[in-house]
């Protein structure tokens, strides 16, 4: 029986930590036994090294899937089912990555990294040991991660190019045009997910074509509203192989990011077709999938490939546009935030923005900065965290200036199962709310509806569960407090009138422009536009957390062999693009095992 989910505090463990602790000796002794017992398949002995409520999270290494097991009963079943298939060996402790950590006064653990091998792969791991009442140390969390396939490492390093530029140019032109060979993988979308999985596949020797509907790589950021700027710090956003320059702003403007995307694709010689649209993806005759691509000149190319990766973002291409009576009678302009460009397009007009999360705040702030009368209509409570006070608490020490290399930070981050991370974030959210007290009290005084998120766990759980419901404040909250952004949230919207909006309590707002900052629909809707109905209607869920705390569908096949989902924020795209590429490479090389379901 697993005990109720809780943090491994010293009080709960009835443990103390003495001064002068020999962290290295404790870690080496534990790890030597751990590796020996795993290789001998002595599962009960492995479990004796763990707390009763231990977490074991695995990414592809032992399960060919994304799984988290909690408690010795679940871990025992997992190891019983998978150890014999995995043939673990070559355990090696990374002695330079052993550290005693004290994130809070009542939380102490030893964190360490290790390497090992499986039947077909090279893998890494992270474990955290906590003190027990009897003076021993046991694992409370173990993470195992597939890094590479044996015999098929990433092809990184300098390339031997012919110095004749004309020959190089001609070669690249033929490669991009697919004159001599067809792509093995079709990628739909050239955002961060599409570009990063393309780069990963290239480094594994797999030819991938990225198809982008916009005229230029990066237009998916350039063509959004002019005020758009990333709200996560630059250290969180790095892309594989080419990190952002050390001189870049902490919060990257969208136009700057779009230009970087274009440079990234060019520098890594990724094959991208712009002004091109995948019009259908159907079962193929010689390969699994047949993709029809319409190009800028009206011509069509048809490719058959075993793998099609949808990299269309969290919302895909289908805006969420609620319908209200009277919209067809409204004399003003109605648009979704995805079509909004700049505040000066509506100079001198009264604007209502429906929504109260990131896009809504950004757009409203831009209107205020440009002297436009704007009202925010808040439909539900919103989580607010300032980037000044909250972001350092959330991102330090992993994703901040002076933090560890990104590869290390990503593995530490992944080593915290989401259910465990939620407990940590409850503390962070409480601390952040106290630091943001004046800001939050000011919003409450204006009538703004606030939430601390699911079970008071703040930003991250909202992002994983619904990809929304929050605003990381870069200044718009003060505009609400000061009344510069007007606020309406005391009644449900009933219908549109010719001149504005009418609410269920009988109140009205005059408007000449209404912007729906209401996000996007089910990500699968964009997939279904391209797939046959029989396939599209049977796609599994691809966002939100399952009962183990893992994301549904993302970074694996979505219900059908060779149809892949590549999505998520920059940190996820960077880390999990490698996992998607490993799965595809393993299938191509006939090394892929069975997913542990």
- How are the residues of the chain apportioned to helix, strand and coil, as percentages rounded to the nearest 5? 30, 25, 40
Confidence of residue 317 (pLDDT cuts 50, 70, 90): low
Closest CA to 295 of 273, 271, 270: 273
Residues 6 or more apart whose CB falls under 8 angstroms from that of 226 comprise 341, 342, 343, 366
- Residue 162: both structure tokens together: 């012919």
Confidence of residue 162 (pLDDT cuts 50, 70, 90): low
Q: Residue with structure tokens 């797999």?
A: 206
Cα distance between residue 28 and residue 54, in whole Å: 19
Closest CA to 196 of 279, 309, 284: 309
Q: How far is CA 434 from the centre of its chain?
A: 27
Cα distance between residue 211 and residue 471, in whole Å: 32
Mean pLDDT, residues 137-153 taken together: 97
Mean pLDDT, residues 435-461 taken together: 95
E strand intervals along 137-207: 137-149, 185-188
Mean pLDDT, residues 186-192 taken together: 97
Secondary structure class of 437 (helix, strand, coil): helix
In degrees rounded to 5, what are phi and psi of residue 181? -155, 160
Q: Taken in order 172, 178, 182, 187, is the CA torsion positive or negative?
A: positive
Go through 321-349 and write b for each residue having 16 or more CB atoms within 10 A of its CB, e for each that does not: eeeeeeeeebebebbbbbebeebeebeee
pLDDT of residue 4: 65
Secondary structure class of 277 (helix, strand, coil): strand
Q: Which residue has the higher pLDDT, 279 or 313?
A: 279
* pLDDT above 50: residue 539: yes
Tell me whether strands 563-565 and 307-310 are parallel, antiparallel or unpaired.
parallel
Q: Which residues are 502's β-sheet partners?
A: 495, 508
Mean pLDDT of the chain: 94
Cα distance between residue 318 and residue 212, in whole Å: 16
Cα distance between residue 356 and residue 383, in whole Å: 10
pLDDT of residue 231: 86
- Residue 119: both structure tokens together: 């039947």
CB 131 within 8 A of CB 152: no
Cα distance between residue 449 and residue 469, in whole Å: 12
* pLDDT above 60: residue 414: yes
Secondary structure class of 369 (helix, strand, coil): helix
Angle, in degrees to the nearest 10, between helices 406-414 and 570-588:
90
Cα distance between residue 494 and residue 491, in whole Å: 9
Cα distance between residue 347 and residue 351, in whole Å: 10
Mean pLDDT, residues 172-179 taken together: 93
Angle, in degrees to the nearest 10, between helices 437-445 and 418-435:
80
Mean pLDDT, residues 348-352 taken together: 97
Q: Residue with structure tokens 């999938």?
A: 289
Mean pLDDT, residues 567-592 taken together: 96
Cα distance between residue 557 and residue 185, in whole Å: 13
pLDDT of residue 509: 96
pLDDT of residue 2: 45
Percent of the chain with pLDDT over 70: 98
Cα distance between residue 255 and residue 236, in whole Å: 18
Mean pLDDT, residues 518-527 taken together: 90
The string of DSSP letters for 197-217 reads HHHHHHHTT--EEEE-SSSST
* pLDDT above 50: residue 543: yes
Confidence of residue 247 (pLDDT cuts 50, 70, 90): very high
Closest CA to 301 of 274, 327, 277: 277
pLDDT of residue 314: 74
Which range has the worst mean pLDDT, 76-85, 199-208, 262-271, 382-391? 382-391
Q: Residue with structure tokens 């539900």?
A: 380
Mean pLDDT, residues 344-350 taken together: 96
pLDDT in tens, 68-125: 999 999 999 999 999 999 999 999 999 999 999 999 999 999 999 999 999 999 999 9
Mean pLDDT, residues 332-351 taken together: 94
Cα distance between residue 422 and residue 410, in whole Å: 17
Confidence of residue 161 (pLDDT cuts 50, 70, 90): low
């Amino acid at each position: 029986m697993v005990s109720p989910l809780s943090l491994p505090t010293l009080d709960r463990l009835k443990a103390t930590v003495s001064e002068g602790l020999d962290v290295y000796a404790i870690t080496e002794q534990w790890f030597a036994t751990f590796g020996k017992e795993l290789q001998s398949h002595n599962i009960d002995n492995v479990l004796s090294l763990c707390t009763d409520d231990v977490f074991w999270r695995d990414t592809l290494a032992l399960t060919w899937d994304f799984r988290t097991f909690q408690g010795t009963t679940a871990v025992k079943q997992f190891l019983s089912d998978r150890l014999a298939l995995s043939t673990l060996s070559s355990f090696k402790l990374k002695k330079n990555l052993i550290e005693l950590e004290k994130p809070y006064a009542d939380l102490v653990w030893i964190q360490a990294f290790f390497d090992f091998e499986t039947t077909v792969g090279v893998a890494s791991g992270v474990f955290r040991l906590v003190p027990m009442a009897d003076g021993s140390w046991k694992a409370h969390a173990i993470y195992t991660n597939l890094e590479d396939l044996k015999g098929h490492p990433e092809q990184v390093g300098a390339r031997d190019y012919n110095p004749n530029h004309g020959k190089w140019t001609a070669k690249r032109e033929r490669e991009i045009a697919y004159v001599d060979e067809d792509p093995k993988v079709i990628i739909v979308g050239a955002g961060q997910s599409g570009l990063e999985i393309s780069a990963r596949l290239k480094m594994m020797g797999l030819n991938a074509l990225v198809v982008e509907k916009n005229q230029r790589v990066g237009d998916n950021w350039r063509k959004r509203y002019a005020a758009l700027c990333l709200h996560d710090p630059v250290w969180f956003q790095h892309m594989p192989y080419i990190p952002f320059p050390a001189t870049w702003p902490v919060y990257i403007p969208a136009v700057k990011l779009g230009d970087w995307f274009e440079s990234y694709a060019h520098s890594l010689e990724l094959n991208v077709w712009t002004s091109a649209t995948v019009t259908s993806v159907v079962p193929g005759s010689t390969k699994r999938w047949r993709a029809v691509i319409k190009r800028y000149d009206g011509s069509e190319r048809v490719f058959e490939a075993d793998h099609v990766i949808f990299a269309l973002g969290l919302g895909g291409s289908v805006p969420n546009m609620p319908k209200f009576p009277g919209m067809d009678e409204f004399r003003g302009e109605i648009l979704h935030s995805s079509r909004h460009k700049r505040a000066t397009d509506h100079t001198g007009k009264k604007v209502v923005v429906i929504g109260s999360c990131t896009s809504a705040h950004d757009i409203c702030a831009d209107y205020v900065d440009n002297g436009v009368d704007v009202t925010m209509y808040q439909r539900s409570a919103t989580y607010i965290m300032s980037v000044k006070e909250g972001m350092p608490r959330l991102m330090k020490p992993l994703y901040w200036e002076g933090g560890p290399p990104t590869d290390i930070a990503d593995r530490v981050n992944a080593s915290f199962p989401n259910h465990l991370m939620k407990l940590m974030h409850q503390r962070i959210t409480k601390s952040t709310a106290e630091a943001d007290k004046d800001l939050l009290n000011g919003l409450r005084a204006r009538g703004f509806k606030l939430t601390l998120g699911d079970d008071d766990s703040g930003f991250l759980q909202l992002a994983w569960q619904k990809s929304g419901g929050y605003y990381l404040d870069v200044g718009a909250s003060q505009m609400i407090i000061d009344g510069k952004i007007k606020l309406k949230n005391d009644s449900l919207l009933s219908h549109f009138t010719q001149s504005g909006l009418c609410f269920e309590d009988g109140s009205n707002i005059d408007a000449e422009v209404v912007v729906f900052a209401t996000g996007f629909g089910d990500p699968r809707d964009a997939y279904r536009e391209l797939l046959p109905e029989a396939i599209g209607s049977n796609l599994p869920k691809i966002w939100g957390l399952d009962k183990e705390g893992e994301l549904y569908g993302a970074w694996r096949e979505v219900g059908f062999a060779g149809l892949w989902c590549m999505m998520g924020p920059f940190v996820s795209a960077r880390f999990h693009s490698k996992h998607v590429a490993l799965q595809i490479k393993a299938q191509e090389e006939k090394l892929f095992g069975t997913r542990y379901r």
